[in-house]
């Protein structure tokens, strides 16, 4: 935590010094208020934006884990309380559905020609967000345990299963696998990964009609269940935090984990030396002979609210632009994320995410109705993993739950 505070401070100073050159980020009036999640990388961006406050301009942030519950309401009024929301490719959809964020094309033409093209997120030709970090789930493994068992790091889930069996047989670990399988959002994410790995299609082409109740869906569930047999019996209560705790306690040999979390696992103070010196990362695995990795790519980026004055929109745009340029990066916050900012120097720990990008992993689906399916998946898969019902029953429950929700929302 101390390091994080320092990092925020240092990045704020860096941003301040950078902005001194750029005439205080290029604005001295207007109101900026940013809502977003609270993990360290976003704190860095928030502090970078706050450092732009100058003249009559005000810059505020509200970075909280409840951001998704308040961002829509906070941007719906006119003028909107929040002039910007920091979102990911899953959460931008809710804001676009309600039409509360504006296309950035004109602002980019006027003030943002120097933003690298790769950072722009365009939908139907309109730039809707500017991304500043990437994330993906990929393999994390314990080199010492794999060597002891005579195994190579797995490149497919089938290898992971046979490796887990071998580690268990040799009596090294009773539960060699880990994963964020907490019922709800996390478990739905694991299904999404695995279903994409099986080359499954979530919807009937060109419609919002769901179609996961098929052989690929069954195979996906079977694979999740097979993996869970090698996990701590409490796996349905383990989110990313608890899974990381299992890892640092040395209880796990292999897991599919978020790239953004691996930095913490490698910190010397987080665990016994034998654990953190042997923690290695590799690209995401494939499944069932598929070519596409069973994982999804994610970005986090910033947006500008629709219902704000032109002056506020300009100030917001410039503040966040300044907060996501090379100026905010320094030795302390470099490892907080896989930054999509020029001047970012990746470390060894980030290779998992780069491998995921290089392997052509699918981005998480950015569809107006996919959030509803994600919720339906999260509510129902646990019933199969606990053995309460068959795979087909679970899949048909998922379809029915999604269909009812999509009808309510007007998608069907």
Partner 1 sequence: MSASIQDQKPLYLKVLINSFLVLWLLMAAFPFLWTAWGSFKVEADFFSKADWTNALTGVMTIAESGEYFTTDGYHGAWVQEEFWRAAMNTLIVVVATVCISLTFGTLGGYALARSAYRYAFWVLLIALVFRAMPPITLVSGYLLPFFELNMWGHLPTSIIVLVAINQPFTLWMLTSFFKNIPQELDESAMVDGCTRFQAFRRVIIPVMWPGVITTGLFSFLLAYNDFAVTAMLLNEENKTMVPKLAGFLGTTQTKGNVMFAVSSVVSITAPLFVLVMFFQRQIVSGLTAGAVKG
Partner 2 sequence: MKHRSFFWFMLPSALAMLVFIAAPIVSVLIQSVYAPHEQVIKVVESCSIFGCTESTTVDQDATSALRDAEPLGRFVGSQIYTDRNHLATEEIAVAWQEAEGFGDFFSKATNLPFYGAMSFTLTYTAVVTPMAIILGFFIALGVNGLPKLLRGPTIFFSLLPMIVTPLVGALILFWMIDSRGVLGVGLQNILGDPTLSLKASTPMMWVTLIVYGIWSSCPFAFVVYYAGLQTVPQDSIESAKLDGASRWQQTWHIVIPHLVPLTTFMALIKIMDNFRVFEPIVSFNAEAHAQSLSSFIYNDLSGETQLLSSAAATSVLTIIGVVILLSPVLVRTWRDYGNQR
Restricted to residues 194-213, the positions that interact with partner 2 (CB under 8 A) are 206, 208
273 binds partner 2 (CB under 8 A): no
Q: In this complex, which beta carbon is closest to partner 2, that of residue 90 or of residue 303?
A: 90
Question: For partner 2, how many residues bind (rule: CB under 8 A)?
Answer: 71
- Minimum distance from residue 262 beta carbon to partner 2 (Å): 20
x/- letters, 3..42, toward partner 2 (CB under 8 A): ----------------------------------------
- Minimum distance from residue 238 beta carbon to partner 1 (Å): 11
Q: In this complex, which beta carbon is closest to partner 1, that of residue 24 or of residue 261?
A: 261
Considering only residues 293 through 322, tell me which ones interact with partner 2, judged by CB under 8 A: 297, 299
Q: In this complex, which beta carbon is closest to partner 1, that of residue 76 or of residue 214?
A: 76
x/- letters, 76..95, toward partner 2 (CB under 8 A): -------------xxx-xx-
Considering only residues 365 through 404, tell me which ones interact with partner 2, judged by CB under 8 A: 365-372, 374-375, 379, 382-383, 385-386, 388-389, 393, 397, 400-401, 403-404
Q: Residue by residue, what is the 3-state secondary structure of the chain?
A: CHHHHHHHHHHHHHHHHHHHHCCHHHCCCCEEEEEECCCHHHHHHHHHHHCCCCCCCEEEEEECCCHHHHHHHHHHCCCCCCCEEEEECCCHHHHHHCCCECCCHHHHHHHCCCCCHHHEEEECCEEEEEEEEEEEEEEEEEHHHHHHCCCCCCCEHHHHHHHHHHHHHCCCCCCCEEECCCCCHHHHHHHHHHHHHCCCCCECCCCCCECCCCHHHHHHHHHHHHHHCCECCCHHHCCHHHHHHHHHCCCCCEEEEEHHHHHHHHCHHHCCHHHHCCEEEECCCECCCCCCCCCEEEEEEECCECCCCHHHHHHHHHHHHHHCCHHHCCCCCHHHCEECCCCCCCCHHHHHHHHHHHCCCEECCCCCCHHHHHHHHHHHHHHHHCCCCCHHHHHHHHHHHHHHHHHHHCCC
Q: Interface with partner 1 by CB under 8 A: which residues?
A: 1-2, 4-5, 37-40, 61-66, 69-70, 73-74, 76-77, 80-81, 240-241, 244-246, 248-251, 260-261, 264, 267, 269-270
x/- letters, 141..160, toward partner 2 (CB under 8 A): --------------------
226 binds partner 2 (CB under 8 A): no
267 binds partner 2 (CB under 8 A): no
- Minimum distance from residue 181 beta carbon to partner 2 (Å): 9
Tell me which of partner 2, partner 1, none is bound by residue 261, counting a contact when its beta carbon lies within the kind-specific cut-off of 5 to 8 angstroms.
Answer: partner 1
């Amino acid at each position: 935590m101390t390091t994080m505070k320092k990092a925020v401070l240092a990045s704020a100073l860096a941003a301040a010094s950078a902005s001194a050159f750029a005439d205080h980020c290029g604005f001295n009036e207007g109101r900026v208020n940013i809502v977003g999640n609270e993990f360290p990388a976003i704190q860095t961006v928030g502090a970078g934006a706050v450092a732009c406050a100058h003249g009559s301009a005000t810059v505020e942030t509200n970075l909280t884990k409840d951001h998704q519950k308040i961002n829509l309401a906070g941007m719906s009024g006119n003028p909107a309380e929040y002039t910007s929301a920091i979102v990911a490719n899953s959460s931008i959809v809710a804001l676009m559905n309600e039409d509360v964020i504006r296309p950035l094309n004109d602002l980019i033409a006027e003030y943002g020609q120097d933003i690298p093209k790769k950072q722009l997120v365009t939908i139907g030709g309109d730039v809707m967000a500017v991304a500043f970090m990437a994330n993906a789930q990929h393999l994390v493994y314990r080199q010492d345990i794999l060597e002891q068992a005579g195994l190579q790091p797995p490149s497919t889930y089938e290898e992971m299963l046979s490796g887990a069996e071998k580690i268990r047989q040799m009596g090294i670990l009773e539960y060699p696998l880990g994963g964020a399988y907490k019922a709800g959002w996390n478990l739905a994410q694991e299904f999404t990964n695995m279903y994409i790995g099986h080359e499954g299609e979530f919807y009937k082409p060109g419609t919002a009609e769901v179609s996961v109740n098929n052989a690929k869906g069954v195979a996906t569930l079977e694979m999740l269940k097979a993996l869970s047999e090698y996990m701590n019996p409490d796996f349905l209560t383990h989110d990313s935090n608890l899974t990381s705790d299992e890892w640092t306690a040395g209880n796990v040999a292999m897991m599919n984990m978020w790239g953004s979390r691996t930095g913490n696992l490698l910190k010397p103070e987080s665990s016994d030396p034998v654990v953190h010196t042997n923690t290695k990362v590799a690209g995401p695995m494939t499944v069932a002979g598929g070519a596409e990795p069973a994982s999804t790519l994610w970005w986090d980026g910033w947006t500008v609210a629709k219902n704000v004055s032109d002056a506020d929109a300009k100030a917001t745009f410039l503040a966040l632009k300044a907060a996501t340029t090379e100026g905010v990066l320094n030795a302390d916050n470099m490892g907080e994320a896989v930054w999509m900012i020029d001047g970012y120097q990746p470390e060894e720990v980030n290779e998992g995410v780069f491998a995921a990008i290089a392997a052509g992993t699918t981005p998480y689906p950015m569809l107006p109705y996919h959030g509803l399916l994600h919720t339906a998946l999260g509510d129902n898969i646990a019933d199969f993993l606990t053995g309460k019902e068959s795979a087909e029953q679970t899949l048909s429950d998922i379809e029915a739950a999604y269909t009812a929700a999509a009808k309510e929302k007007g998608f069907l």
